[in-house]
Chains A and B, each alone.
Chain A
Amino acid sequence: MHSNNYTLGFVFIVTIILGTMLSFTKDSVKVLQDQNLKADVQKTILKSLDFDESLLLTNESIEQTFKNFIVDKCVDIDGNDAPCETSEVDIEKNVETLPIYFKVNNKEDYKVEGIAIPIAGKGLWSTIFGYIALNPDTDSILGIQFYKHGETPGLGGEVEKEWFTRNFTNHPIKDSNGKIIKDENGKIDGIPKKIRNNNGDIIGIDVLKGAVQYSSASKQVDFLDTNPLAIHQVDGISGATVTAKGVDSFLKEDLKKYEAYLNKVRDSGTI
Chain B
Amino acid sequence: MELFNSESKKIINDPINVNNPISLQVLGICSALAVTIRLDQAIIMTLAVIFVLCSSNVILSLIRDYIPARVRIVIMLSVIASLVSVVDELLKAYLYDMSKQLSVFVGLIITNCIIMGRAEAFALKNGPSKAFLDGLGNGLGYGMIIIIVSFFRELFGAGTITLPDGGAGYVLWRIPEAWYAAGYENIGLLVLSPGAFFILGLVIWGQREWFGLEEDV
Given contacts A10-B68, A33-B89, A58-B167, contact A154 B193 (CB under 8 A): yes
Cβ-closest chain A residue relative to B67:
A10
* A153 to B34 CA separation, bound complex (whole angstroms): 9
Given contacts A10-B67, A40-B96, contact A29 B103 (CB under 8 A): no
Residues of B within 8 A of A2 (CB): 68-70
Residues of B within 8 A of A33 (CB): 89, 92-93, 96
Cβ-closest chain B residue relative to A154:
B193
Cβ-closest chain A residue relative to B101:
A153
Residues of A within 8 A of B105 (CB): 153
In contact, A29 and B68 (Cβ under 8 angstroms):
no
* A33 to B90 CA separation, bound complex (whole angstroms): 9
Residues of A within 8 A of B167 (CB): 57-58
* A32 to B96 CA separation, bound complex (whole angstroms): 10
Which of B8-16, B75-83, B137-145, B198-206 forms part of the interface with chain A?
B75-83
Q: How far is the CB of A135 from chain B (nearest CB, A)?
A: 27
* A154 to B74 CA separation, bound complex (whole angstroms): 32
* A11 to B78 CA separation, bound complex (whole angstroms): 10
In contact, A26 and B68 (Cβ under 8 angstroms):
no
In contact, B92 and A36 (Cβ under 8 angstroms):
yes
Cβ-closest chain A residue relative to B192:
A154
Interface residues of B in 23-74 (CB under 8 A from A): 34, 63, 66-71, 74
Chain A, residues 3-37, CB within 8 Å of chain B (1/0): the string is 00011001100110010011001100100110010
Residues of B within 8 A of A15 (CB): 78
Out of B34, B82, B93, name the residue touching A22 (CB < 8 Å). B82
In contact, A22 and B86 (Cβ under 8 angstroms):
yes
Q: How far is the CB of A236 from chain B (nearest CB, A)?
A: 18
In contact, A18 and B82 (Cβ under 8 angstroms):
yes
Cβ-closest chain A residue relative to B85:
A22
Given contacts A22-B82, A153-B103, A153-B104, contact A11 B89 (CB under 8 A): no
Q: How far is the CB of A44 from chain B (nearest CB, A)?
A: 11
Given contacts A15-B78, A18-B78, A58-B167, contact A10 B66 (CB under 8 A): yes
Would you call A190 an interface residue if the criterion is a C-beta within 8 Å of the partner chain's C-beta atoms? no
Given contacts A6-B68, A58-B167, contact A18 B79 (CB under 8 A): yes
Q: How far is the CB of A131 from chain B (nearest CB, A)?
A: 16
Chain A CB within 10 Å, residue with most, of B34, B71, B74: B71
Residues of B within 8 A of A40 (CB): 96, 100
Out of A21, A29, A58, A153, name the residue touching B93 (CB < 8 Å). A29
Q: How far is the CB of B72 from chain A (nearest CB, A)?
A: 10
Out of A14, A25, A29, A153, name the residue touching B75 (CB < 8 Å). A14
* A32 to B90 CA separation, bound complex (whole angstroms): 10
Residues of B within 8 A of A22 (CB): 82, 85-86
In contact, A25 and B90 (Cβ under 8 angstroms):
yes
Would you call A79 an interface residue if the criterion is a C-beta within 8 Å of the partner chain's C-beta atoms? no
Cβ-closest chain B residue relative to A36:
B96
Chain A, residues 155-187, CB within 8 Å of chain B (1/0): the string is 001000000000000000000000000000000
Residues of B within 8 A of A14 (CB): 63, 75, 78-79
Cβ-closest chain A residue relative to B74:
A11
In contact, A7 and B68 (Cβ under 8 angstroms):
yes
In contact, B89 and A26 (Cβ under 8 angstroms):
yes
In contact, B75 and A32 (Cβ under 8 angstroms):
no
Residues of B within 8 A of A6 (CB): 68
Given contacts A18-B78, A58-B167, A153-B103, contact A29 B90 (CB under 8 A): yes
Residues of A within 8 A of B100 (CB): 40
In contact, B86 and A11 (Cβ under 8 angstroms):
no
Would you call B94 an interface residue if the criterion is a C-beta within 8 Å of the partner chain's C-beta atoms? yes
Cβ-closest chain A residue relative to B79:
A18
Out of B63, B66, B67, B89, name the residue touching A25 (CB < 8 Å). B89
Chain A CB within 10 Å, residue with most, of B67, B79, B89, B94: B89
Residues of B within 8 A of A1 (CB): 69-70
Cβ-closest chain B residue relative to A57:
B167
* A58 to B165 CA separation, bound complex (whole angstroms): 12
* A2 to B75 CA separation, bound complex (whole angstroms): 15
In contact, A11 and B71 (Cβ under 8 angstroms):
yes
The 8 closest A-B pairs by CB, nearest first: A29-B93, A32-B93, A36-B96, A2-B68, A18-B82, A7-B68, A25-B86, A33-B93
A-B contact pairs, 16 of them (CB 8 A): A1-B69, A2-B68, A2-B69, A7-B71, A10-B68, A11-B71, A14-B78, A15-B78, A18-B82, A22-B86, A25-B89, A29-B93, A33-B92, A40-B96, A153-B104, A153-B105
